[in-house]
Structure 1
Amino acid sequence: MLRKPVTAAVLTAGFLAAAAVVPAPANADPVEDAFLHAVAEAGVLMGDPDRAVAVGHQVCPMLSEPGQNAANVAAQVADAAGMPLGPATMFTGIAISMFCPAMVSSIGSGTSPIPLPFLGI
Structure 2
Amino acid sequence: MRLVLLMASAALVIGTAAPAYADPDAKDQSFLNALTQAGLTYLNADRAVTAGKQVCKSADDGMTGEEIVKNLQEKNPGFQGPGAAKFAAIAASAYCPEKLTQTEEGEAPKPAGA
Q: Determine the structure 2 residue equivalent to 1:51.
A: 47
Task: Report deviation, 1:29.
Answer: 0.5
SS at match of 1:47: coil
**2:94 paired with 1:94:** no
% same residue: 27
**Distance (Å, rounded) in 2 between the aligned partners of 1:63 and 1:76:** 12
Higher Rg of the two aligned structures: 1
> Normalising by the residue count of structure 2, what TM-score does the alignment of the two structures yield?
0.61
Tell me which of 19, 34, 38 is aligned to 1:38: 34
Over residues 54-95 of structure 1, what are the superposed CA-to-partner deviations in whole Å (9 max), with x where a residue is unaligned?
A: 1000001111223x2111101212334552242111000000
SS at match of 2:82: helix
Over residues 14-64 of structure 1, what are the superposed CA-to-partner deviations in whole Å (9 max), with x where a residue is unaligned?
A: xxxxxxxxxxx5453101000000001101123222211110000011112
> Normalising by the residue count of structure 1, what TM-score does the alignment of the two structures yield?
0.58
Give the conservation status (yes or no) of the 8 Å contact 1:55–1:77: no
Structure 2: tracts of 5 or more residues without a match: 1-20, 110-114
Residues matched between the structures, number: 85
Give the conservation status (yes or no) of the 8 Å contact 2:22–2:46: no
Give the conservation status (yes or no) of the 8 Å contact 1:62–1:73: yes
Instruction: Kindly report the root-mean-square deviation, in angstroms, between the aligned alpha carbons of the 2 structures.
Output: 2.6
